[in-house]
């Protein structure tokens, strides 16, 4: 059977008939699975058990950022998550054992919450020996620990400091680690080789770490990962196809990060149901030697959008993505440290169809991040040639590689030749502030034609946006990554309040919990726009970030698509009919 003929139906049939779907995962070509995605008819919801949450005070915290146990529980209940491992900042930033015991006492009333203790060597008069630690862990039913050698100032490589690691290895205790705490990827390899029986769960790994992470997981069965920051394009499907399903663990970093964002990645994963159940909680229960929440919790007050995601069905609301990129056909990588599995038009449009997209605006990757702007515009045009209805393009230009005279010809030539381009997408890699005079002729052209612009600024203020919004009033200026942090959101909100033609586009890996609601409350329900930044990261967590917000359904619909229609409305007559998104909210 060729890859192209392997449909999802055959894929599921093979796994079902064999009765060993997980064991066959390596035999299924991932490219066939990705290129044959169909609209998901849905599935039975699975029980979620969160491996990575953290409560407690922390430095440099914004007032609106959640940090309390009550906020964690509320978010879990809202998103229908049944249980969680809970760590405590004070176990790292204050006396470890005192704070470990404090955490266990806090969690006593909650049978579905389980403490993660921070541990260290017993070399100073502040932490118990490994044997005494074991007795205390048994007394408090603690089955998972974390280590923070860098933050807590101990050398895990020194043999005289490894008693704790040897004990964890002997007892096979789940050990949660952030890479920065032990060094780099080479250091992690050393740890895994030296202590092969420690079940290691690495958190905080990004999509840009795939070239190190995935091969290491293939070579070390005791290495497990969460997707809190990973969020890699087709990541769950790809890693499943590599035979890693027993090493993939649901973990959210709640209440800092959105729980809904992370469960959506798994809810929409195109994998067999037994695999989904393992990732959602089964693997964690095994690593904890049977520890798990006693019952499944379901939010009986969830709206129809949330329910659709939990059941793996498309969200019953039109989605317009205002921040997308595109690779050349057949590509899975984009240079630098970026791996984007199926990040080409076929892969991207298969996934957006599955999710129920009505359309959106995209630009190239090579023109934006690789700063080859003419080639990037060609890439975008070719992708538009095979795009489904409802998609349009954003162009790239560069005043550092091309003279003003050259730009005066290039800008109108592109837009006059191809009416599918209605957006402007410069990039900070050009190294010139957006309010610099070298950009002016592009902005003037956009203003004359009522285009919109998507800007990613590296400056710490909104000065560029405010200057441009005041000068070019016909342009809608979209602040990219407005949801990256509460501090940044405050700045965006302030700018939007000053200028009616500034908007907030949300996307970023950080998916802060509650920030969608915060942006809407501050900037207005008509000013916040959904964007995903696919295929740099998978769009599913970004979608869940919005859907599992606490906003009313009517406002969620605005963010997901209706507001985007208002942004492109002045360009609608220019767009060919095929490229105009159509939304019909019921």
Mark whether 18 and 80 lie in a shared domain. Answer: no
Residue 33: is its pLDDT beyond 90?
A: no
Mark whether 295 and 351 lie in a shared domain. Answer: no
Mark whether 109 and 10 lie in a shared domain. Answer: no
Query: What rounded mean pLDDT belongs to the chain?
Result: 93
pLDDT tens for each residue of 534-565: 999 999 999 999 999 999 999 999 999 999 99
Mark whether 457 and 375 lie in a shared domain. Answer: yes
CA-to-CA distance for 500 and 526, rounded, in angstroms? 10
Mark whether 243 and 349 lie in a shared domain. Answer: no
- The pLDDT score that the predictor gives to residue 11 is 32
CA-to-CA distance for 4 and 1, rounded, in angstroms? 8
Residue 231, domain member (yes or no): yes
Residue 300: is its pLDDT beyond 60?
A: yes
Instruction: For residue 119, give its domain range.
Output: 49-304
Q: Which residue, 286, 304, 322, sits at the end of a domain? A: 304
- The pLDDT score that the predictor gives to residue 585 is 59
- The pLDDT score that the predictor gives to residue 29 is 47
Segment 187-203 shows an average pLDDT of 98
- Kindly write down the DSSP assignment for every residue of 454-514, as one continuous string: EE---SSSSHHHHHHHHH-TTSEEEETTTTS-HHHHHHHHHHHHH-TTEEEE---TT-BTT
pLDDT tens for each residue of 245-286: 999 999 999 999 999 999 999 999 999 999 999 999 999 999
- The pLDDT score that the predictor gives to residue 335 is 87
Residue 160: is its pLDDT beyond 50?
A: yes
Q: Which segments of 133-227 are extended strands (E)?
A: 144-147, 174-178, 200-203, 223-225
Beta-carbon contacts of residue 280 (< 8 Å; ≥ 6 apart): 46, 47, 48, 49, 250, 263, 266
Mark whether 196 and 104 lie in a shared domain. Answer: yes
CATH at residue 500: 3.20.20.140
Mark whether 11 and 104 lie in a shared domain. Answer: no
Residue 424: is its pLDDT beyond 90?
A: yes
Q: How many distinct structural domains can be found in the chain?
A: 3
Mark whether 248 and 352 lie in a shared domain. Answer: no
- The pLDDT score that the predictor gives to residue 21 is 40
The three-class DSSP label of residue 323 is: strand
- The pLDDT score that the predictor gives to residue 460 is 86
Residue 586: is its pLDDT beyond 90?
A: no
Mark whether 88 and 228 lie in a shared domain. Answer: yes
Residue 296: is its pLDDT beyond 90?
A: yes
Q: What are the tokens at 27?
A: 């035999």
Residue 156, domain member (yes or no): yes
Mark whether 406 and 290 lie in a shared domain. Answer: no
4 band by pLDDT with thresholds 50, 70 and 90 = very low
The values of phi and psi at residue 204, to 5°, are 75, 15
458 band by pLDDT with thresholds 50, 70 and 90 = confident
Q: Which residue, 304, 330, 363, sits at the end of a domain? A: 304
Q: Which residue, 283, 304, 325, sits at the end of a domain? A: 304
Determine the length of the chain.
Answer: 586
């Amino acid at each position: 059977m060729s890859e192209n003929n392997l449909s999802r139906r055959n894929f599921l049939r093979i796994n079902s008939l064999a009765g060993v779907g997980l064991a066959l995962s390596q035999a299924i070509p991932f490219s066939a699975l990705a290129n044959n995605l169909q609209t998901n008819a849905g599935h039975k919801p699975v029980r979620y058990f969160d491996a990575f949450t953290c409560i407690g005070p922390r430095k440099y915290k914004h007032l609106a950022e959640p940090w309390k146990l009550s906020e964690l529980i509320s978010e879990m209940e809202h998103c229908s998550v049944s249980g969680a491992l809970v760590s405590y900042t004070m176990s790292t930033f204050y006396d470890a054992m005192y704070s470990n015991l404090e955490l266990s006492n806090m969690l006593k009333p909650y049978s579905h919450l389980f403490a993660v203790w921070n541990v260290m060597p017993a070399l100073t008069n502040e932490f118990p020996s490994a044997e005494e630690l074991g007795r205390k862990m048994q007394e408090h039913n603690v089955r998972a620990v974390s280590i923070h050698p860098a933050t807590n100032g101990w050398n895990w490589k020194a043999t005289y400091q490894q008693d704790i690691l040897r004990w964890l290895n002997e007892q096979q205790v789940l050990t949660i680690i952030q890479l920065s705490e032990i060094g780099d990827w080479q250091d992690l390899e050393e740890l895994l080789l030296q202590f092969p029986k420690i079940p290691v769960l690495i958190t905080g790994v990004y999509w840009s770490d795939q070239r190190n992470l995935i091969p290491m997981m293939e070579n070390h069965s005791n290495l497990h990962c969460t997707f809190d920051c990973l969020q890699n394009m087709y990541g769950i499907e790809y890693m499943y196809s590599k035979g890693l399903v027993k090493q993939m663990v649901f973990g959210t970093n709640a209440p800092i990060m959105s729980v809904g964002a992370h469960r959506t990645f798994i809810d929409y994963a195109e994998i067999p149901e037994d695999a989904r159940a393992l990732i959602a909680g089964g693997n964690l229960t095994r690593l904890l030697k049977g520890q798990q929440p006693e019952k499944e919790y379901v939010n009986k007050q969830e709206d129809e959008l949330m329910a659709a995601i939990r059941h793996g069905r498309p969200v019953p609301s039109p989605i317009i993505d205002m921040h997308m990129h595109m690779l050349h056909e057949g590509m899975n990588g984009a240079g630098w440290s970026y791996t984007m599995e199926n990040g080409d038009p076929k892969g991207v449009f298969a996934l957006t169809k599955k999710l129920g997209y009505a359309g959106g605006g995209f630009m190239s990757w090579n023109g934006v991040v690789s700063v080859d702007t003419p080639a990037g515009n060609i890439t975008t045009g070719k992708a538009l040639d095979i795009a489904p209805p409802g998609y349009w393009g954003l162009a790239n230009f560069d005043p550092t590689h091309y003279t003003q005279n050259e730009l005066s010809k290039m800008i109108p030539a592109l837009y006059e030749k191809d009416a599918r381009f209605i957006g402007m997408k410069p990039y900070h890699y050009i190294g010139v502030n957006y309010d610099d005079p070298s950009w002016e002729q592009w902005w003037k052209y956009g203003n004359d034609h009522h285009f919109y612009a998507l800007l990613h600024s590296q400056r710490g203020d909104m000065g560029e946006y405010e200057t441009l919004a005041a000068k070019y009033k016909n342009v809608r200026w979209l602040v990219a990554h407005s949801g990256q942090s509460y501090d940044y959101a405050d700045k965006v909100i302030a700018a939007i309040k000053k200028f009616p033609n500034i908007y907030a586009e949300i996307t970023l890996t950080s998916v802060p919990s509650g920030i969608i609601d915060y942006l809407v409350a501050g900037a207005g329900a008509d000013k916040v726009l959904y964007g995903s930044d696919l295929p740099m990261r998978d769009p599913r967590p970004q979608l869940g970030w919005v859907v599992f917000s606490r906003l009313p359904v009517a406002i969620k619909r605005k963010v997901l698509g209706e507001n985007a229609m208002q942004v492109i409305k002045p360009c609608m007559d220019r767009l060919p009919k095929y490229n105009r998104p159509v939304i019909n909210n019921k």
